[in-house]
Amino acid sequence: VGVRLAAEGATVAACDLDGAAARETVRLLGGPGSDEGAPRGAHAAFQADVSEAGAVRRLLDQVQACFSRPPSVVVSCAGITRDEFLLHMSEDDWDRVIAVNLKGIFLVTQAAAQALVSSGCPGSIINISSIVGKVGNVGQTNYAASKAGVVGLTQTAARELGRHGIRCNSVLPGFIKTPMTQKVPQKVLDKVTGMIPMGHMGDPEDVADVVAFLASEDSGYITGASVEVTGGLFM
Ligand SMILES: CCCCCCCCCCCCCC(=O)CC(=O)SCCNC(=O)CCNC(=O)[C@H](O)C(C)(C)COP(=O)(O)OP(=O)(O)OC[C@H]1O[C@@H](n2cnc3c(N)ncnc32)[C@H](O)[C@@H]1OP(=O)(O)O
Ligand SMILES: NC(=O)C1=CN([C@@H]2O[C@H](COP(=O)(O)OP(=O)(O)OC[C@H]3O[C@@H](n4cnc5c(N)ncnc54)[C@H](O)[C@@H]3O)[C@@H](O)[C@H]2O)C=CC1
């Protein structure tokens, strides 16, 4: 997503729980911003745990200090899985997935919206849900609930923030080739790939293309939408 948005001319603030991963993303983007304390206006890397309210507040403060304005596009990608059948799922596995995938998006969306509204700037907030939030999935009561919650949160934010010129949309990817899906048992991967009308898993670029559209003025009259990027899975 960062690479695609940079290719569209964006100056990117990449943030991750894993600061090294964020710095690696910025290195992919090129430019001097790949080290801590990047010069003003260059791409920059940040570290934060999005499930922590204080960390998110500090992140938005740091981004505004670095770029002299609130972020005009905010893409919440952070997410985890702790898969287990309902009958055996631990409370901790439930709590942690909800904390990162749903509360994390609440905290980032709220902090970004507060910064944009107080500065009178328009913006586009894009939250990454999942097709699992629409149809559920075996072994993912926690993850499915978190992703369904992302859609409801985003639709409500769209209703409240439209008057401020801030659009809020959800993206619902299907099976995408990333480290997250590398943990899926092969027999499940084989099963689901056969169910995909386009016959193959998607790539991160397929999601990034839709994010770039929702970030741009080409989607200027779209808010509250849920855009599925699934190869037709569960259409
Ligand atoms: C008929 C096939 C339908 C497949 C539908 C799958 C739809 C998934 C679309 C998801 C797209 C978006 C994904 C996303 O947002 C990113 C992610 O979340 S990636 C992670 C997705 N996670 C899963 O799909 C869960 C995978 N399952 C597991 O991790 C383990 O099975 C689990 C930890 C839940 C339990 O492990 P264990 O106790 O070792 O049991 P087994 O692994 O042996 O499984 C027992 C039995 O259950 C079947 N099964 C497991 N998961 C799924 C599943 N998701 N869909 C269908 N069936 C599943 C498994 O095949 C075994 O069946 P047997 O017939 O007994 O072999
Ligand atoms: N890969 C797939 O098939 C699908 C993924 N998604 C969603 O896409 C988003 C991106 O996931 P992937 O790139 O696939 O997985 P990934 O595991 O490769 O990336 C997730 C990133 O989130 C970061 N992260 C985890 N917890 C965090 C926290 N508390 N604070 C800040 N950062 C944190 C991780 O360090 C990692 O860099 C996630 O929200 C995921 O749920 C949705 C549908 C399908």
What was the pLDDT predicted at 201?
A: 96
- Burial of 190 per CB tally in 10 Å (0-12, 13-18, 19+): exposed
- In three-state secondary structure terms, 42 is coil
Nearest CA to ligand 2 atom 10: 77
Report, as an integer, the average pLDDT of 70-82.
98
Instruction: Output the six-digit token pair for 190.
Output: 């084989």
Radius of gyration, CA atoms only, the chain: 17
pLDDT by residue (tens digit) across 202-222? 999 999 999 999 999 999 999
Nearest to 188 by CA among 139, 229, 154, 223: 139
For residue 80, count other CB atoms closer than 10 A to its CB.
17
**If you take atom 17 of ligand 2, which residue's CA is the nearest one?**
180
For ligand 1, whether the C-beta of 176 sits within 6 Å is no
- Burial-class residue 157 by CB neighbours within 10 Å (0-12, 13-18, 19+): buried
* Tokens 């016959």, located at residue: 199
Q: Cα-flanking dihedrals φ and ψ of residue 131, to 5°?
A: -60, -25
Provide the mean pLDDT of the chain.
95
Averaged pLDDT, 15-35: 84
With pLDDT > 70 as the criterion, what percentage of the chain qualifies? Answer: 95
Place of tokens 């500065």: 119
pLDDT given at position 31: 59
Point out the residues that are catalytic.
143
How high is the pLDDT of residue 34? Answer: 47
Nearest ligand, CA 16: 2
Instruction: Give how far the C-alpha of residue 166 lies from the chain's centroid of Cα atoms, to the nearest Å.
Output: 17
How much of the chain exceeds pLDDT 90, in percent?
94
ipTM of the complex: 0.98
Cα 96 to Cα 101, 126, 138, distances in angstroms = 8, 22, 18
Nearest CA to ligand 2 atom 15: 180
Enter the DSSP assignment of 197: T
